[in-house]
Structure 1
Amino acid sequence: MKTGFLLMRRVVIALALLLGLNPALAAEVRGLPQIVDADTVYIGQTKIRFSGVDAPETEQICLDSAGTNWNCGLEAKERLQAFSSNHEWNCQLSGQDVYRRSLGFCTVNGENVSRWLVRNGWALDFRRYSTDFVADEDFAREHKRGLWSGAFIAPWDWRHRNPSTVVLGALAVPTNAQRALIAHAPTDEAPHPSNCLIKGNLTSAPQCIYHLPGGRFYDRLSMQPTSSRRWFCSEAEAQAAGCRKSKL
């Protein structure tokens, strides 16, 4: 029995090495998720980033089908929470990203969470790394589901948006609305989403820093509508984005 177990363990490690994986990271995790945003969750102490997909940031603004500003990132998170409905998840891990988050895919009640997100328009196929969900993205776009019902910026472009950033979706975007999407807000300071009061400074080196209300630098940190500033709804969300808490 022991010999058979050791042989099986060696086979698993060999396969992991053949696929370029760290054997310690090729693992299975089960449990109820703490959903940080629509593509990042915690299960216990394990922080998991869904591989192959990219979902809008929690503070990301889109336009709905009527052309009105819409907090699509927060809704994507809420839709995933409703889909999860306090059921146990089963996640297969396959490595780590540059932020030391575990990468992998998860299922709930036998359904692939990443596929559900893309097919319902709450995430995009992250084609830089995978094309597993292209057909599901085409389905969501054709049926104008989720983000595709209005106008939005791809999450990877949102993080580095500028006046030439492409706007996607079903809605023909007026010039002034496009400007508002690119800037995130037409004012000097980007408003925070409801209950999202933690300020993130992504330009801090060597690691971005988040500031809690009441902190020494909280009021001094101007939240200009740029990709270097971000509102977070929880410390878990800030930490999942690779930020650390301000020491003051």
Structure 2
Amino acid sequence: MMTARERLLDPARAAATGAMADLVRDRSVEYVPLDTDAYRRIVARCHAGGLDLGAEMVGRGPAWAYRRYSDDYADTERMAHAGARGYLEGRIAARLEYRAGRWSRAAAEAPEGCPIKGNISNKGERIYHTPWSPAYAKTRIDESRGERWFCDEGEAIAAGLRAARWR
């Protein structure tokens, strides 16, 4: 769960997370796999209570059409933009631009330009944190404990780490 400070720092993520939580609340979520991305994650079309979650999120404004895998939501995005809904009001940078900026800043400060932090939790869980993860700033890497830096998510996954979870 995000703190009030994190919500202030990243209102786009907070709004998107809240919108998705409202859409799936008390509903079963089903998905149809479409593809697999570069990190071996499933790219899918998801539904909850008869709603196409991607179309709902893009249409309401807290998400953008991810055209790398499909143009299915491109028209929905254009309509949301024309109606100045959600993030598309122009007050907040697009998620990909936002993430790219965080990535660039973190890479500039990270050893060898590899900004993903792979750490071991107090419970022994092997977790990686990307620069946009809420716990990124407070996560410290202790190489003597087997923790390390990664240049991309695929490398962290291949080393047996899972992505950090929030909310």
Q: For the Cα contact (< 8 Å) 2:62–2:87, is it kept in 1?
A: yes
How far residue 118 of structure 1 moved from its aligned partner, in angstroms, is 0.3
Q: For the Cα contact (< 8 Å) 2:32–2:45, is it kept in 1?
A: yes
Which is richer in helix? 2
Residue of structure 2 aligned with 1:94, choices 30, 34, 39: 34
CA distance in 2, matches of 1:60, 1:123: 17
- Secondary structure in structure 1 of the residue aligned to 2:30: strand
Match of 1:134 in 2: 74
CA distance in 2, matches of 1:211, 1:121: 36
Identity across the alignment (%): 20
Residue of structure 1 aligned with 2:85, choices 139, 142, 145: 145
How far residue 113 of structure 1 moved from its aligned partner, in angstroms, is 0.6
CA distance in 1, matches of 2:70, 2:18: 25
**Superposition pairs of residues 69-218 of structure 1, within 5 angstroms:** 71-161=11-101, 203=114, 208-210=117-119
2:131 aligned with 1:229, yes or no? yes
Match of 2:150 in 1: none
How far residue 153 of structure 1 moved from its aligned partner, in angstroms, is 2.1
Instruction: Structure 2 unaligned segments of length 5 or more: list them.
Output: 106-112, 125-129, 136-152, 163-167
- Secondary structure in structure 2 of the residue aligned to 1:75: helix
- Secondary structure in structure 1 of the residue aligned to 2:46: strand
TM-score, structure 2 as length reference: 0.58
Instruction: Structure 1 unaligned segments of length 5 or more: list them.
Output: 1-35, 37-58, 62-68, 163-181, 184-201, 216-227, 234-240
Letter in 1 for 2:133: W
- Secondary structure in structure 2 of the residue aligned to 1:151: coil
How far residue 128 of structure 1 moved from its aligned partner, in angstroms, is 3.2
> Do the aligned partners of residues 96 and 144 (structure 1) sit closer, same or farther apart at CA in structure 2, a change above 3 Å counting?
same
Letter in 1 for 2:81: R
Q: For the Cα contact (< 8 Å) 2:33–2:44, is it kept in 1?
A: yes
Q: Which has the larger radius of gyration?
A: 1
Match of 1:56 in 2: none
Aligned length: 125
How far residue 150 of structure 1 moved from its aligned partner, in angstroms, is 4.1
How far residue 73 of structure 1 moved from its aligned partner, in angstroms, is 0.7
Q: For the Cα contact (< 8 Å) 2:65–2:73, is it kept in 1?
A: yes
Letter in 1 for 2:118: I
CA distance in 1, matches of 2:68, 2:35: 17
CA distance in 2, matches of 1:104, 1:75: 22
TM-superposition CA deviations, 1:107-129 (whole Å, max 9, x none): 11211110001000011112233
TM-score, structure 1 as length reference: 0.41
Match of 2:109 in 1: none
Which is richer in strand? 1
